[in-house]
Amino acid sequence: GQNIDQPTEMTATEGAIVQINCTYQTSGFNGLFWYQQHAGEAPTFLSYNVLDGLEEKGRFSSFLSRSKGYSYLLLKELQMKDSASYLCAGSDSNYQLIWGAGTKLIIKP
Amino acid sequence: IAGITQAPTSQILAAGRRMTLRCTQDMRHNAMYWYRQDLGLGLRLIHYSNTAGTTGKGEVPDGYSVSRANTDDFPLTLASAVPSQTSVYFCASSELAGGPDTQYFGPGTRLTVL
C-alpha cells in the first residue's frame, strides 16, 4: 500500500529551529514535495526533492533519503507567520501525489 | 493576477441535491485535479485530467463526476449529495502531465451536506 506518515502536531519557539519528519511508502517514487497550508487557506508549494541530499531555500531546507524512505523539512529562525500545517506528499509511479495528513506547527513567542 | 479560481466559496446543500463546483485556471496548465480535504486525513484525489478532453479517476471518485471541455475549466459535479461528502474541496493545476510537477491550488470550496 501507499502511505505517508508525519507527526500530527509540533510546537516550537519563535527564533528557534524545527525539523518536521516524513516517512513514505509509494508504489514507485518520483520525488517528494513539501507544501505549507495556513488555516483556512490553500496549500502552497515549498520544495521538491528527487535526489538524496539537502535542498536549501532561504530559511527552509528539505532533505531526502530514498534508501530510507525518509524526508524532513527544516525551518530556521522561526517567525510567528510560520504557524501553519506542513504537508508532505510523495509522487508515485503514475506521478500522482500521495499526501500525508499534515503537521500542524504552533509557534510560541 | 494569474491563478485558479473556485466557486462557490462555501455552500450548504440538502442531501440528494445536485451540485457543481466550478474551477477555472488562466495559466494554460495541462493538468488539473480535484481533491477533498477532511480533518485528520491527507488530501485525497477525486478525479484528474492530464489534458483537455481526458479525465481519470483518483482515490475517491465514487459519487463525483468531472468534465474537461477546454484547458481552463474543470467542473466537479455531485449528482446526488450525501452527508459524507461534507468536506473542503480544492482544485489544483500543474503545467506538466505525466511527470512530477508543482501543483497550484485554488482557494477551496467548503461544502456542507445536511
How remote is the C-alpha of A85 from its chain's centroid?
9
Interface test with B, best of A3, A96, A104 (most B CBs within 10 A): A96
Question: Is A22 an 8 Å CB contact of chain B?
Answer: no
Interface test with A, best of B30, B38, B43, B88 (most A CBs within 10 A): B43
A16 grid coordinates: 528557534
Q: Is pLDDT of A106 > 70?
A: yes
pLDDT given for residue A34 in this prediction: 97
Average pLDDT for A80-97:
94
pLDDT higher at B2 or B28: B28
Q: Is pLDDT of A97 > 80?
A: yes
DSSP B25-91: ESS--SEEEEEEE-TTS--EEEEEESSTT--EE-SS-TTEEE--SSSSB--EEESS--GGG-EEEEE
Q: Is pLDDT of B99 > 80?
A: no
Average pLDDT for B34-41:
94
Q: Is pLDDT of B1 > 90?
A: no
Average pLDDT for A59-84:
97
Tell me how many residue pairs between chain A and chain B have CB atoms under 8 A apart. Answer: 48
Q: Is pLDDT of A8 > 80?
A: yes
Q: Is pLDDT of B38 > 70?
A: yes
Rounded distance between C-alpha atoms, residue A14 and residue A24, angstroms? 29
Chain A nearest-CA distance from B59, in A, is 10
Supply the DSSP symbol for B108: -
Percentage of residues of chain B with pLDDT beyond 90:
89
Q: Is pLDDT of A76 > 80?
A: yes
pLDDT band at B14 (very low <50, low <70, confident <90, very high): very high
What is the amino acid identity at position B58?
G
pLDDT band at B54 (very low <50, low <70, confident <90, very high): very high
Q: Is pLDDT of B98 > 80?
A: no
Chain A nearest-CA distance from B98, in A, is 6
Interface test with A, best of B96, B105, B109 (most A CBs within 10 A): B105
Chain B nearest-CA distance from A45, in A, is 7
pLDDT given for residue B2 in this prediction: 67
Question: Is A4 an 8 Å CB contact of chain B?
Answer: yes
Contacts of A45 in chain B (CB under 8 A): 102-104
Of A42, A48, A50, the CB nearest to B106: A42
Average pLDDT for B28-57:
95
Lowest pLDDT segment from B2-6, B12-16, B22-26: B2-6
pLDDT given for residue B69 in this prediction: 97
* Cβ separation A100–B99 shorter than 8 A: no
